[in-house]
Amino acid sequence: MNTSQKRDTVMLALGLVIFAVLYGLMETGVIGSFWKLNILIIGINIIMAASLNLINGYTGQFSLGHAGFMAVGAYVSVVLTTNFHLPFLAALLAGGAAAGALGCLIGLPTLRLSGDYLAIATLGLSEIIRIVLMNIQYVGGAAGFSGIPHLTTFPWVFFSLLATLFIIKNFVNSTHGRACIAIRENEIAAEAMGVNTTKYKVMAFTIGAAFAGVAGGLFAHVFYIITPLSFTFMQSFNYLIMVVLGGLGSITGAIAGAFVVTFISAILADWPEYRMIIYALALILLMFYRPQGLFGYMELTSLAPFKRFAKGGKDNG
Amino acid sequence: MDFMSQVVQQLINGVSLGSIYALIALGYTMVYGIIKLINFAHGDIYMVGAYIGFFAVANAGLGIFPALIISMVLTGLLGCLVERVAYKPLRHAPRISLLITAIGVSFFLEYASMLFVSPTPRTFPEIFDSSVAYHIGEFIVNGQQLLIFAITFVLTVLLTYIVQKTKIGKAMRAVSFDTETAQLMGIDANRVISATFGIGSALAAAGGVLVGVYYNSIDPLMGIMPGLKAFVAAVLGGIGSLPGAVVGGLILGVIEAFVSGFLSSTFRDAAAFAILILVLLFRPSGIFGRDAQEKV
Amino acid sequence: MKFGKKGRMAALLAGVMMLGGVLTGCGGGGGDKKADTNEIKIGANFELTGNVANYGVATYEGLELAIDEINAAGGINGKKIKLIKADTKSETSEAVNSATKLIADDKVKVLVGPATTAPVIAETQVATEHKVPILAPCATSAKVTVDNGKVQPFVFRSCFIDPQQGDVMAKFAKENLKAATAVVYFDSSSDYSKSLAQVFKEKFEAAGGKVLMEEAFVQKDQDFKATLTKLKTANAQVMFVPAYYEEVGKIVKQARELGITMPILGTDGWDDPKVKDIAGADAINNTFFCTHYSDKDAEVKPFLDAFNKKFGHAPNVFAALGYDAGKVLIDALKRAGSDDSEKLAKAIAETKNLKAGTGTISMDANHNPIKQAVILENKNGGREVVAKIVP
């Protein structure tokens, strides 16, 4: 077993332990309903942030339309579970596939744009998706789709999250991922080195969109009703904030960002009028002191104590 | 009304709506031109401008023009303040951090005003006789529409004059072209950037007050959609270009009126975005934008 | 990259661990807030910030007034009522979150709110699971209390349901205004507006009228002129605009500016002094709307005066319905004799001939109140009663 596999195994084991602990605490009622729900939301937000990070952080393509893909995944999966009574897993995968396919379709023309132009184009596309959903009576139009079964449970979220992070981590560390990072660092240089930039940009965009679709499916099955208003560009901003707050181009960062943002909102729930003001100030201050985000490009594992722990004292320097 | 008269009437509706987008888009485009920041807080600056105008009219009993000027001055100062406090410390940070800060400022302005002036919409006292309407044949042009159009026109001319003919305008163009070289030439870039935010915010304030008078209702979240639309208008016209912002705003207004009038208003926003995307695909730097090829 | 290539998996799991650690710490603490036996906790789950905060805040104000009054009068059987508020940010998912917080952490015995329909439907699941009754002050969609023909056991409302008003206004247009043709302009982002538009059309056409054109706008729209120009071309005799006051004011103003002089009809969403302020006193003439009370009614006067005294402005329909919800709740708490959720739900269901702020309320089998309606005409800066509909 090489070190990579070894570390993966260690991490998987660790993940299972965390899962067992959290699950146990939930089942015994130590974690009450409110935090139980918030753990689900944090998990879903991590999937959103990690998948957006693949597009914005690793490939350097400024997408502001992530909520649109989430909406597609959400609507496709609720129609499949509610109206066609398909199993949840199939519905989630179909939602992810639909969002991914749309991402590919949208990515092909728009990813020719760069920087802020791409940002506004993706923002526009996500708004178009939302407006189209608002006009489809089959899914309830603007009033929303109700009667969704409550299928999203902690194990579903946790294992989807684990799968997402595992796939994204492996993608980033693969040849394809390297190509994406090369595009982020300098698109022209990457092209000169023989990287097919369009292909990799669309690939990253598609994968990111697909996971957003899965997250959308999970999100929709937490609540009894979804409305197009849950997927406005303000939501896309929220996911962008999570990614930047945690650190663009760091999976640990995406996790931390999603966690911090959701957590702040939850603990401030007792002061409703001040909640968003405090959040806004916290955001501005964090950007002052950590403009590169909490983790920057770093991962938790690149910190020295963790290295020793994860590799059993063996250092490959 | 026959079809042609409907077209003309929709054109009138669209131009008056577009004038407001244009006023907001000018500020967007100026700020973008100079520090390459999509200032998402701009729509909320417009909202603050509307509220200052409201208090000037409702509490201080001023007329429309004094209220407009007071609002422009105070909001301009607010714009400078926001720039000084929130954006200046990040001048050398990654651009995306600056963008997140702008979103933070936007949230702050929205929710702080929700706290202080309450989320209930306010209505402007009637300071402008809304029944003044000019019937030209079958078409109706409202007095307020003319006012909006006239003020937008005057302000655009004034702005063009400032940017093209005055010293500060020259400095703005220099900083926008190349900040470092401009500084080497003895231009105080920080002052110029402050001035840009001030002027941009003042224009947004004018838009806010006019909207307040025209639609007669303002609320703390009124800036979100117009802010986004104005940004779309700025990109459509070619971001960084002043005539582009005005033309983009007018085009957007007219498109919206036509889609609402001849198709369905529920698809209005979708049509606006679709056209934006099409324009970008075929002319990535917008209608009036300079084509900036990245050099290796 | 400058660090080990296998780092990420480790990082992600460490992150999850951190998440778990912090959460368990906090989760444990939130669960056991001390219960004070001398007070009854009511959760007010409202849109306090966000898009429709104006509706949520107004409803909350009305509710607060009702609760303050009963507390000042010594409470219920010696127990004070404690109102705990939570904010839904005007988002459906957030409403579930805040409802869960009120139920699980604050241990409220009953939920009031939110103001709009979708979040009430969304929070139903969690409330029913915990057997906590919901009293919706102004969610008018029929789906709120009856889902697929089944009455939601823990959901009640204290306002009209949509079909009732649509029916009333269609009859009024046909019989009182003698209109044969109508156009409908509704808010497609609101359940309330959509179902009213539908009912109005059905009833109006059933009575022999004809709806010539239907158009829609979305919440927070500012400019309606383009669509109004289109509606004008239909040359109908009346226009029906079932919507909330903010948009209604603008629609009436812009319609009159475009030379649309026909009567404009509306529903209880119109009931706010702001409509007149936005539209202007001249423009608002020749408009009719259906609502719960007239400010000239003697029985409403105490409420109007108390509200004015506390908040310094006249209540709108949301505030009035919030107040009514408070009254229904207080009455039910008195009759239930305890704050036990199931007894309370039963007591709310048995509400009968209750004199609330805006009229007399009895609950029907579908958990919907039976209450009077009035049709008011905006005329010369005031409102006049043109019809009274007693159930």
Across A96-105, B92-101, C223-232, the highest mean pLDDT is recorded for A96-105
Q: Helix (H, G, I), strand (E, B), or coil: what is residue B295?
A: coil
Please tell me the predicted confidence (pLDDT) of residue B291. Answer: 58
The stretch C43-61 carries a mean pLDDT of 92
Q: Per the domain annotation, does B289 fall within a domain? A: no
Q: Which residues contact C21 (CB under 8 A, 6 or more apart)?
A: none
Neighbour subunits, A (≥3 Cβ pairs < 8 A) = B, C
Please tell me the predicted confidence (pLDDT) of residue A15. Answer: 85
Nearest C-alpha of chain B: how many angstroms from A228? 13
Inter-chain CB proximity C93 and A219 less than 8 Å? yes
Please tell me the predicted confidence (pLDDT) of residue C11. Answer: 44
Closest CA to B42 of B194, B201, B198: B201
C197 and C277 both lie in a single domain: yes
* C-beta of residue C15 within 8 angstroms of C-beta of residue A259: yes
Q: Which of A184-193, B190-199, C200-209, C349-358 has the lowest mean pLDDT?
A: C349-358
A252 vs C5, C12, C51: nearest CB: C12
pLDDT tens digits, residue range C247-263?
999 999 999 988 899 99
Inter-chain CB proximity C53 and B119 less than 8 Å? yes
- Calculate the CA A92 to chain-centre distance: 15
Q: What is the CATH number of the domain that holds B131?
A: 1.10.3470
Q: Per the domain annotation, does B287 fall within a domain? A: no
| Residue C158 to residues A10, A264, C138, C191, C245, Cα–Cα distance (Å) | 57, 35, 7, 17, 20
Q: Per the domain annotation, does C379 fall within a domain? A: no
Inter-chain CB proximity B107 and A280 less than 8 Å? yes
The stretch A155-179 carries a mean pLDDT of 93
| Residue A175 to residues A108, A182, A205, B71, Cα–Cα distance (Å) | 21, 11, 16, 56
Residue A77 has pLDDT above 50, yes or no: yes
C274 vs B121, B130, B140: nearest CB: B121
C59 and C155 both lie in a single domain: yes
Q: Per the domain annotation, does B99 fall within a domain? A: yes
Nearest C-alpha of chain C: how many angstroms from A114? 24
Nearest C-alpha of chain A: how many angstroms from B197? 18
Q: Per the domain annotation, does B291 fall within a domain? A: no
**Residue C379: beta bridge partners?**
C382
Q: Into how many domains does chain B fold?
A: 1
Inter-chain CB proximity A31 and C27 less than 8 Å? yes
Closest CA to B294 of B285, B118, B286: B285
C208 and C147 both lie in a single domain: no
* C-beta of residue B272 within 8 angstroms of C-beta of residue B18: no
Q: Per the domain annotation, does C28 fall within a domain? A: no
pLDDT tens digits, residue range C286-296?
999 998 888 88
Residue C70 has pLDDT above 70, yes or no: yes
Mutate to test the interface with A, among B37, B107, B265 (most CBs of A within 10 A): B107
How high is the ipTM of this complex? 0.89
Range of the domain at B45: 3-282
* C-beta of residue A147 within 8 angstroms of C-beta of residue A220: no
A251 vs C8, C104, C191: nearest CB: C8
- H/E stretch holding B133 reads strand B133-136
The stretch C229-235 carries a mean pLDDT of 91
Residue A224 has pLDDT above 80, yes or no: yes
Q: Which residues of A256-279 are buried (b: 16+ CB within 10 A; e: fewer)?
A: bbbbbbbbebbebbeebeebbbeb
Range of the domain at C324: 39-160+299-371
C152 and C170 both lie in a single domain: no
Cα C240 from Cα C251, distance rounded (Å)? 11
C156 and C303 both lie in a single domain: yes
Closest CA to C64 of C256, C327, C345: C327
Structure tokens at C125: 């699941």
C118 vs A33, A225, A256: nearest CB: A225
Please tell me the predicted confidence (pLDDT) of residue C8. Answer: 45
Residue C7 has pLDDT above 70, yes or no: no
Q: Name the A residues in 215-254 with CB < 8 Å from any B CB.
A: 233-234, 237, 240-241, 244-245, 248
Cα C27 from Cα A21, distance rounded (Å)? 13
Mutate to test the interface with C, among B123, B139, B259 (most CBs of C within 10 A): B123
Q: Helix C301-311 and helix C317-336: axis angle, to 10°?
A: 110
pLDDT tens digits, residue range A123-136?
999 999 999 998 89
DSSP string for residues in A229-269: GGGSHHHHHHHHHHHHHH-TT-HHHHHHHHHHHHHHHHHGG
Amino acid letter, residue A56:
N
What value does the mean pLDDT of chain A take?
Answer: 89
Which position has the higher pLDDT, C131 or B266?
Answer: C131
Neighbour subunits, B (≥3 Cβ pairs < 8 A) = A, C
C253: closest chain B residue by CA? B215
Q: Into how many domains does chain C fold?
A: 2
Cα B257 from Cα C90, distance rounded (Å)? 29
pLDDT tens digits, residue range A257-295?
999 999 888 888 888 889 899 999 999 998 998 888 888
Q: Per the domain annotation, does C32 fall within a domain? A: no
* C-beta of residue B234 within 8 angstroms of C-beta of residue B28: yes
Q: Helix C225-232 and helix B3-35: axis angle, to 10°?
A: 170
Residue A10 has pLDDT above 50, yes or no: yes
C153 and C182 both lie in a single domain: no
C339 and C318 both lie in a single domain: yes
Residue B295 has pLDDT above 80, yes or no: no
Residue C57 has pLDDT above 90, yes or no: yes
Out of C260, C291, C322, pick the residue that ends a domain: C291
Please tell me the predicted confidence (pLDDT) of residue B292. Answer: 55
Residue C12 has pLDDT above 60, yes or no: no
pLDDT tens digits, residue range C260-286?
999 999 998 999 888 988 888 888 999
Q: Per the domain annotation, does B87 fall within a domain? A: yes
Residue A268 contacts B where some CB pair is shorter than 8 Å: no
- Percentage of residues in chain B having pLDDT higher than 70: 95
Q: What is the CATH number of the domain that holds C101?
A: 3.40.50.2300
Beta strands in A86-238 (DSSP E): 145-146, 225-226
At residue B129 the predicted structure's pLDDT band, cuts being 50, 70 and 90, is: low
Q: Per the domain annotation, does C257 fall within a domain? A: yes
Inter-chain CB proximity C216 and B266 less than 8 Å? yes
Q: Per the domain annotation, does B272 fall within a domain? A: yes
Q: DSSP letter at C36?
A: P
The stretch A153-158 carries a mean pLDDT of 94
